[in-house]
């Protein structure tokens, strides 16, 4: 409650104070408030699809903006393309490249680019554009996350062979080169173009962009691939998943992957709306810092994994969406032959007693920045009480949480990356990247072999062994894998969840009943 106490002779100070306090209130208030396809191939061509995304007011058009909310990914997917799209079977669907070859010892890789590809201004796409993008990503000054995926490259070793051929000379052998350079975030724009031009080669070109509000793109008739049926796609930004969900129910948008999962029962009862679930692609994790007591003892880590009731977590924390996970990273390919871990409180109690950690009390920090995260840790804490373990859940503001990321002994995180992208962080010496500080000699040795071979079958066999080690003595509790849930209007057909994110990025096959 504010009182305006104004009297003669004391006017200035209280007024200054009032405005100052009111401003502080406003700041505080603001701080309190961070596999299927849509069935049917019918629908006529043309029309504007309105897609809802959660986005920041301060997003930009730069294809490599450091700020990445959901609008960034959807916008980029419509206007820009990678060298290839990864497929569920571990293969590649070539996009801006037509093939990649390598020498015998995997130190020299040659990328052949697709001919007759044109940017949205009609100029041809070629080797110079590819080299410019890789140089930008590799430049440490730009602090781009994509560098983590290709930091095995030497910027000086990238050379143009001809207009449609680029050669990469690597300082040391690297097997999964194709996998690394086909990361869906490594996309190509015209060399020398300005970010605000969004000069890509994708199926849609830019019409207008208003930060944090709307991006409008139109069909690019000069597209090299199958041309979209839609005339336009309007990507509408919302601050929260609640707003996006409300807009869907209110028919203000046609589709969104950013919906409030707790609203699914309401959505399923709403006529004219359909729900689409992707393959599982998200693992919410509970990390245990393996170089710090009590988790430097593998028995304590295993005990924690045995305390959690995975079935309860899947049902109650993740609304029954997804599958049980088994304490190893990666998704549905190259799985190890290990039994599904079940809750076993007696064994957990014994392991803790053997480690001299009975009646353990520990803080567990979470930013609750993914659906189900807070509920998951609460379930763990409740189950732990049954064997005398006290887990104090501390929910934190995201900024504060990230500031000490890599330092927390017991914490939550999440993983959406394919295994080959995640392993470099797991073996990294960087305390931030290898946030649970797990250092396993056998795992590292296998990782070395994994990245030295280009043979997919051999990679898969090595992955199975590595996942088995994670299951046996890793430092993460992984209880469930979740899909991305999208909701769309029944007048829309042809929507496909993108692999691996499960989001709605591909609108080339979409049509709408007018």
Partner 1 sequence: MAIETTTDNAVKAAPTPGPSQRSALPWLIARRALTGLVTLWCVSVIVFVATQAMPGDVAHIILGPSASAEQVAQLNQNLGLDQPLLSQYWNWLSSVLTGDMGDSLVSGQPVSELLAERIFNSATLTAIAMVLILPLSLLVGLLAAVFRDRLLDRSYLGTSLIVTATPDFVIGSLVIALFGTVVFKVLPPVSLIPPGDVPWEHPRQLVMPLAVMVLVGVTYLSRLVRVSFIDVLESEYVQLAIIKGLPMRRILFRHALPNALAPSIPAASIMAAFTIAGSVVIEYLFAYPGIGSALVDAVAGHDLPMIQAIIMLMAVAFFCFNQLADVLGTLNKSR
Of 128 and 425, CB closest to partner 1? 425
- Report yes or no: 508 and 226 within 8 Å, Cβ to Cβ: yes
C-alpha–C-alpha distance, residues 479 and 311, integer Å: 8
Of 250 and 339, CB closest to partner 1? 250
Of 18 and 98, CB closest to partner 1? 18
Contact set for partner 1, span 64-83 (CB under 8 A): 65-68
- Counting contacts by CB under 8 A, is residue 272 touching partner 1? no
C-alpha–C-alpha distance, residues 269 and 279, integer Å: 23
Q: What is the nearest approach in angstroms of partner 1 to the Cβ of residue 496?
A: 26
- Counting contacts by CB under 8 A, is residue 122 touching partner 1? no
- Counting contacts by CB under 8 A, is residue 275 touching partner 1? no
- Counting contacts by CB under 8 A, is residue 24 touching partner 1? yes
The correct pick among 118, 232, 239, 277 for binding partner 1 (CB under 8 A) is 239
The correct pick among 3, 116, 226, 514 for binding partner 1 (CB under 8 A) is 3
- Residue 197 in tokens: 């031009």
The correct pick among 160, 167, 169, 213 for binding partner 1 (CB under 8 A) is 213
Q: Strands of 155-265 (E only): list them.
A: 158-162, 165-169, 204-210, 214-219, 232-238, 255-256
Of 248 and 480, CB closest to partner 1? 248
Whose tokens are 């096959």? That residue is 509
- Counting contacts by CB under 8 A, is residue 430 touching partner 1? yes
Choices 84-92, 209-217, 274-282, 337-345 (CB under 8 A): range interacting with partner 1: 209-217
- Counting contacts by CB under 8 A, is residue 397 touching partner 1? yes
The correct pick among 48, 103, 123, 240 for binding partner 1 (CB under 8 A) is 240
Choices 173-181, 186-194, 237-245, 306-314 (CB under 8 A): range interacting with partner 1: 237-245
- Counting contacts by CB under 8 A, is residue 207 touching partner 1? no
Q: Classify 352 as helix, strand or coil.
A: helix
- Counting contacts by CB under 8 A, is residue 147 touching partner 1? yes
Choices 9-17, 123-131, 179-187, 293-301 (CB under 8 A): range interacting with partner 1: 9-17
C-alpha–C-alpha distance, residues 82 and 76, integer Å: 10
Q: Identify the burial level of 167 via C-beta atoms within 10 angstroms of its C-beta, where 0-12 means exposed, 13-18 middle and 19 or more buried.
A: middle
- Counting contacts by CB under 8 A, is residue 218 touching partner 1? no
Of 192 and 429, CB closest to partner 1? 429
- Counting contacts by CB under 8 A, is residue 19 touching partner 1? yes
Of 161 and 400, CB closest to partner 1? 400
C-alpha–C-alpha distance, residues 440 and 292, integer Å: 15
Q: What is the nearest approach in angstroms of partner 1 to the Cβ of residue 61?
A: 10
The correct pick among 167, 398, 484, 506 for binding partner 1 (CB under 8 A) is 398
Of 258 and 493, CB closest to partner 1? 258
Contact set for partner 1, span 306-365 (CB under 8 A): none
Whose tokens are 């979740």? That residue is 482
C-alpha–C-alpha distance, residues 196 and 24, integer Å: 35
Of 62 and 458, CB closest to partner 1? 62
The correct pick among 7, 122, 192, 272 for binding partner 1 (CB under 8 A) is 7
**C-alpha pair distances (Å), 110 with each of 189, 294, 477:** 20, 48, 40
Q: What is the nearest approach in angstroms of partner 1 to the Cβ of residue 290?
A: 17
The correct pick among 156, 265, 432, 444 for binding partner 1 (CB under 8 A) is 432
Q: Classify 236 as helix, strand or coil.
A: strand
Looking only at Cα atoms, what is the longest distance across the chain?
A: 89
Choices 12-20, 74-82, 162-170, 318-326 (CB under 8 A): range interacting with partner 1: 12-20
The correct pick among 99, 167, 250, 391 for binding partner 1 (CB under 8 A) is 250
- The DSSP result for 95-126, as a single string, is SSEEEEEE-TTS-EEEEEEPTT-B-TTSPBP-
Q: Between β-strands 255-256 and 273-288, what pairing exists: parallel, antiparallel or unpaired?
A: unpaired
Of 16 and 161, CB closest to partner 1? 16
Question: What's the CA dihedral at 367, 502, 417, 464 to 10 degrees?
Answer: 120
Q: Taking the CA atoms of the chain, what radius of gyration do you get in angstroms?
A: 25
Choices 28-36, 38-46, 334-342, 384-392 (CB under 8 A): range interacting with partner 1: 28-36
- Residue 166 in tokens: 């680029």
Q: Classify 185 as helix, strand or coil.
A: coil
Q: What is the nearest approach in angstroms of partner 1 to the Cβ of residue 62?
A: 9
- Counting contacts by CB under 8 A, is residue 143 touching partner 1? yes
- Counting contacts by CB under 8 A, is residue 161 touching partner 1? no
**C-alpha pair distances (Å), 514 with each of 43, 97, 449, 490, 511:** 8, 36, 55, 12, 9
C-alpha–C-alpha distance, residues 93 and 266, integer Å: 37
Total residues binding partner 1 (CB under 8 A): 75
Residue 248, CA atoms < 13 Å, CB-side half-sphere: 36
């Amino acid at each position: 409650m504010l009182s305006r106490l104004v009297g003669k002779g004391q006017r200035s100070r209280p007024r200054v104070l009032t405005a100052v306090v009111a401003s502080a209130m406003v700041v505080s208030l603001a701080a309190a408030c961070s596999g299927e396809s849509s069935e049917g191939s019918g629908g006529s061509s043309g029309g504007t699809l309105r897609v809802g995304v959660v986005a920041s007011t301060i997003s930009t058009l730069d294809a490599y903006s450091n700020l990445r909310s959901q609008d960034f990914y959807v916008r980029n997917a419509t206007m820009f393309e990678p060298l290839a799209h990864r497929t569920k079977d571990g293969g590649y669907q070539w996009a801006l490249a037509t093939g990649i070859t390598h020498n015998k010892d995997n130190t020299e890789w040659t990328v052949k680019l697709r001919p007759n590809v044109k940017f949205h201004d009609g100029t041809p796409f070629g080797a110079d554009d590819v080299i410019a993008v890789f140089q930008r990503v590799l430049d440490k000054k730009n602090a781009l996350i994509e560098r983590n995926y290709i930091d095995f490259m030497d910027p000086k070793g990238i050379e143009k062979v001809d207009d449609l051929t680029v050669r990469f000379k690597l300082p040391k052998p690297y097997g999964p080169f194709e996998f690394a350079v086909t990361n869906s975030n490594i996309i190509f724009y015209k060399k020398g173009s300005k970010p605000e031009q969004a000069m890509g080669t994708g199926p849609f070109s830019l019409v207008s962009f208003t930060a944090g509000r709307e991006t409008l793109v139109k069909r690019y008739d000069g597209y090299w691939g199958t041309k979209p049926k839609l005339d336009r796609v309007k990507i509408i930004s919302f601050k929260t998943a609640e707003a996006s969900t409300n807009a869907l129910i209110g028919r203000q948008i046609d589709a969104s992957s950013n919906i409030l999962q707790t609203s699914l029962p309401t959505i399923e009862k709403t006529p004219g709306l359909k729900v689409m679930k992707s393959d599982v692609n998200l693992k919410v994790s509970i990390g245990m810092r393996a170089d710090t007591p009590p988790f430097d003892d593998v028995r304590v880590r295993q005990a924690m994994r045995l305390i959690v009731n995975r079935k309860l977590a899947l049902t109650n924390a993740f609304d029954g969406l997804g599958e049980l996970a088994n304490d190893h990273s990666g998704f549905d390919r190259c799985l190890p032959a290990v039994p599904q871990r079940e809750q076993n409180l007696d064994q957990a109690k014994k392991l803790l007693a053997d480690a001299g950690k009975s009646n353990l009390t520990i803080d567990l920090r979470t930013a609750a920045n993914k659906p189900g995260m807070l509920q998951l840790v609460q379930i763990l804490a409740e189950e732990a009480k049954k064997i005398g373990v006290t887990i104090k859940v501390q929910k934190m503001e995201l900024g504060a949480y990230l500031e000490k990321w890599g330092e927390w002994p017991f914490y939550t995180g999440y993983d959406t990356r394919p295994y080959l992208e995640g392993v470099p962080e797991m073996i990294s010496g960087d305390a931030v990247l290898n946030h649970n500080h797990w250092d396993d000699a056998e795992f590292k040795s296998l990782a070395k072999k994994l990245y030295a071979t280009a043979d997919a079958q051999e990679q898969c066999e090595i992955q199975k062994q590595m996942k088995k080690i994670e299951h046996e003595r890793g430092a993460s509790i992984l209880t469930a894998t979740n899909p991305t849930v999208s909701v769309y209007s029944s007048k829309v057909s042809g929507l496909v969840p993108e692999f691996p994110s499960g989001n709605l990025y591909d609108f080339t096959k979409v049509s709408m009943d007018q």
